[in-house]
Amino acid sequence: MAVDRLRNLLEQAFPGSEVDVQDRTGGGDHFQVTVASARFDGLPLLEQHRLVNDALAEPLRDGTIHELRITTRGTE
């Protein structure tokens, strides 16, 4: 399942974080990911999203993710 793959990648990239992955349409290619991690503390939004994009680089590249929505939160 793509949802599990995405969740695993995010949990590896952000150890100890809260990760949520939703399949928005049920089609397995439109996702909403939410990550709450201390790594985001003090980082501009652009850099927070860049870290998430980096963690998901492979499924973004191979076409698994057709559409991605990202919500990030720090812990502060």
Residues lying near other proteins in the complex (CB under 8 A) are found at: 45-46, 49-50, 53, 57, 60-61, 67-71
Residue 18 or 58: the one with the smaller Cβ distance to other proteins is 58
Minimum CB–partner distance for residue 8 and other proteins (Å): 19
Structure tokens that stand for 71 in this block:
């919500």
41 Rama class: left (phi>0) / alpha (psi -120 to 50) / beta: beta
Residue environment code for 58-67, b if the CB has 16+ CB neighbours within 10 A, otherwise e: ebeeeeebee
Minimum CB–partner distance for residue 67 and other proteins (Å): 6
Minimum CB–partner distance for residue 74 and other proteins (Å): 13
Residue 38 or 57: the one with the smaller Cβ distance to other proteins is 57
Q: For the chain, give me the number of helices (H) and strands (E)?
A: 3, 3
